Amino acid sequence: MYLPNIWGEGGALFAFSGMDGETDALHPLIGSTLHDSRGFVFHTEDRPELRFGVVIEEQDSPFESVTDQLVSGTVVISQIEIAGAVLRLEYAFLDKSTVGARITCDRLGEPIDVYIQSAIEGAECSVVDGKLVQCVGGNTYALGCSNPSARISEPKGRVQTTLLKAGESVRFAWAYSAEGRETVVASVSRGLTADFDAVVERELQFFRSLPVPKTSDPNIARTYYKCASVMKVNCCSPQGQILFPWTTPDRWPHRWMWIWDSAFHAIGLRHISHKWAEDAIKAVLSVQRSDGFIPHMITVDGKDDSSIIQPPILAWGSWKVYEKTKNSQFLEYVFPRIGKMILYDCQELDTDNNGLSEWNQQYTGGASGMDNSPRFDQPIKDAVDLNSYLVNDMRYLAKIARELGKEDKAREWDELADERSRRINELLWDDETGFYYDNDPNGKLVKIKTEAGFTPLFAGVCNEKQAEALVKHLTNPKEFWRPFPISSVSADEPTFCDNMWRGPTWINFNYFCIEALDRYGFAEVSKQLRKRTIEEVSRWHTLDGIIYEFFDSEGKTNPVFLHRKKLGGPQAVRSATSLGTNVCDYNFTASLFFDLVISDPFLPEPVE
């Protein structure tokens, strides 16, 4: 088994998983690996950094070599060589607000000092019950050591102790709380006596329980296990208005629950846990309003829920989950709720009653998921992607209805899908260019070629002639078939660049297109797109240890240096705590990669 073990340039998520216990989305302790140290920066308001170090002759000493054995979202294990000593450094999230560290001396010449440092700018420091306590505003942090003779340096935020002989171990615990000193000191005390071995074994057992990846390529296999870890770390426990275990695009910075992301997450999770896959979708539906509306971003307390929708793909995602679970009770739960959501999108978002729906005009990018696409550089009305997603989910609602023995409902959904497909072809297809577009408020096609134009292929809206025309565009190297296809904008468009949805490659659209190509019989193109998607995600993980949100369609620029709206570019050089502008350990990239590897019929025999 090729465990994820690439530290890379920093930025990997580190947090307590809802698969392991209770999480807290209102007061989360979420870390990212540091660029220049075996440690983490945590994304509270105070940006504390937790670092491991070695002191020789009263000076901090650089490591001679570091071999990372496991870098997962919850446990990190590294072997460090320095001054003739071999140290085993283990970090583990013990609960939602406590990080444990264990340093074991595997080989030792002279005694050696080791420390954990909690670096927090502007913290007021004190010592309480033998623990270093740091207060900043309403937040409190504490750091302690299992060795009662450990030395505490308040100015440096360090707790330091001496290892005297080979085989000796020392434990540290660091905790965060918004509830004051007593709570955080108690958390450290519990952390120092927690069963560290059990926490590590639980993480290793998670990897052992996964399906064996269908590949003989060690880099793809390692990326596969990394993606499983990304899925796990982005799981959260029920809280507030979210009544089921739920998933987030990334614990930082997105943090909350989102509609279409949750469907993508369920597709990967169905191979790991049937319950988690089902709950990822049920959690979204649990916050539905009586009129069918579901906000595209959902918070646990409801205070910052959005007022717009997101791509309606929950019926499609639910069917994929059902294909694995065969749990008809799950279909019974989702069927009426998703149906109500689809009807809301059809009735409330068709302002001119022409049979086609529109994204919220004030937030077209946010609602569509394609934030800064050049589609939205001018006003649009009827959205080709929204209406294609609606058709697709109508078809899947029909499938679900038939599976539940509701034939009348199935016919109703099929009829609605047929009518909307007709309107898409009537109003949004262009014979001259052989492509689908949005139209503007005057009904004129907005002829900017983006990958949204392939969503009718995904939804089965096209006839064979239209499908052939679309695939011709898709496979044209001067348009969408770039070194890492599929670019989000055609390369012959003047707006094509490296900025988010204006050129870079997104794995969710690749997944849509792989499924669409298979549907229409373009098996060889589907095979090549699947192959290149797997290879490119794996390539960047092997280099950086990160599963990125989006990728350079030219295959050249490290994803962390791509532009993101008004941010990023070559000037966004990583520092110890600046992780660039591309989201790291992004959940739907991980979930869909995981599914592609498992379902790939062309990969060589599995690794044992």
Q: Please report how many Cα atoms fall inside a 13 Å half-sphere around the Cα of residue 168, on the Cβ side.
A: 16
Contact 306, 297 (CB under 8 A): yes
d(CA 286, CA 280): 10
Number of H helices, E strands in the chain: 15, 22
Cα separation, 237 vs 573, whole angstroms: 35
pLDDT of 109: 82
Q: How far apart are CA 265 and CA 588, in angstroms?
A: 6
Asked if 281 and 266 touch (Cβ cutoff 8 Å), the reply is yes
Tens digit of each residue's pLDDT (9 = 90 or more) over 476-501: 999 999 999 999 999 999 999 999 99
Cα–Cα distance, 552 to 557 (Å, whole number): 6
The beta-carbon contacts of 345-348 under 8 Å, at least 24 apart in sequence, are 345/309, 345/312, 345/386, 345/390, 346/390, 346/416, 346/420, 348/291, 348/293
CA 152 to CA 126: how far, in whole Å?
10
Which of 277, 319, 285 lies closest to 403 in space, CA to CA?
A: 319
pLDDT at 576 over 70: no
DSSP labels, 135-202: EETTEEEEEEESSTT-EEETTTTEEEEEE-STT-EEEEEEEEESS-HHHHHHHHHHHHHS-HHHHHHH
**DSSP letter for each residue of 555-599:** S-S-GGGSBBTTB-STT----SS---SSPBS-HHHHHHHHHHHHH
> What sign for the dihedral angle of Cα 583, 573, 77, 223?
positive
φ and ψ at residue 176, rounded to 5 degrees: -130, 145
Predicted pLDDT at 566: 74
**Token pair listed for 594:** 């995981």
* Chain centre distance of CA 78: 24
| The pLDDT of residue 63 is above 90 | yes
Q: Do residues 555 and 482 make contact, with C-beta atoms less than 8 angstroms apart?
A: yes
Residue pointed to by tokens 């098996």: 523
498's tokens: 């490296």
- pLDDT at position 574 over 80: no
pLDDT at residue 579 in the model: 54
Name the nearest CA neighbour of 39 among 85, 78, 2, 4: 78
Residue type at 562? Answer: L
Query: What burial letters (b/e) apply to 305-332, b meaning 16+ CB within 10 Å?
Result: bbebbbbbbbbbbbbbbbeebeeeebbe
**Rounded distance, CA 13 to CA 587, Å?**
11
Residue type, 39: G
Q: Are 325 and 278 in contact (CB under 8 A)?
A: yes
User: How many angstroms separate the CA atoms of 357 and 346, rounded?
Assistant: 6
The answer, yes or no, to whether residue 112 has pLDDT greater than 90, is: yes
The mean pLDDT of the chain is: 95
CA atoms of 281 and 258, how far apart (whole Å): 10
Contacts by 182-189, CB closer than 8 A, 24 or more apart: 183/140, 184/97, 184/133, 184/140, 184/141, 184/142, 185/128, 185/129, 185/131, 185/133, 185/142, 185/144, 187/95, 187/97, 187/98, 187/142, 188/98, 188/131, 188/142, 188/143, 188/144, 189/129, 189/131, 189/144
Q: Which pLDDT belongs to residue 57? A: 87
Work out the percent of the chain whose per-residue pLDDT is above 70. Answer: 97
Q: How confident is the model at residue 604, as a pLDDT? A: 57
Residues 6+ apart with CB under 8 A from 208: 1
Residue 575 has pLDDT above 50, yes or no: no
Phi and psi for 392 in degrees, rounded to 5?
A: -60, -45
**Taking 80 as the threshold, does the pLDDT of residue 361 lie above it?**
no
Bridge partners (DSSP) of residue 435 are 430
Q: How far is CA 593 from CA 91, 227, 318, in A?
A: 27, 7, 18
Q: Answer left, alpha or beta for residue 130, where phi above 0 means left and psi between -120 and 50 means alpha.
A: left
Q: List the domain boundaries for the chain.
A: 13-206
Give the chain's end-to-end CA distance (angstroms, integer): 7
Q: pLDDT for 366-403, tens place per residue?
A: 899 999 999 999 999 999 999 999 999 999 999 999 99
- Distance (Å, whole) CA 445 – CA 143: 61
Q: Return the pLDDT at 555.
A: 97
**Distance between CA 416 and CA 368 in Å, rounded?**
22
- Burial of 414 (C-beta count, 10 Å sphere; 0-12/13-18/19+): middle
E strand or H helix that includes residue 223: helix 218-233
| Whether pLDDT at 512 is above 60 | yes
Angle of helix 328-348 relative to helix 384-403, nearest 10 degrees?
150
Confidence of residue 508 (pLDDT cuts 50, 70, 90): very high
> Which helix (H) or strand (E) element contains residue 70?
strand 65-71
Q: What is the CATH code of the structural domain delimited by 13-206?
A: 2.70.98.10
Band (38; pLDDT cuts 50, 70, 90): very high
CB 584 within 8 A of CB 32: yes
Of all residues in the chain, the percent with pLDDT exceeding 90 is 91
Instruction: Give the residue-averaged pLDDT of 116-139.
Output: 96
CA 396 vs CA 170, 392, 400, 604: distances in Å: 56, 6, 6, 32
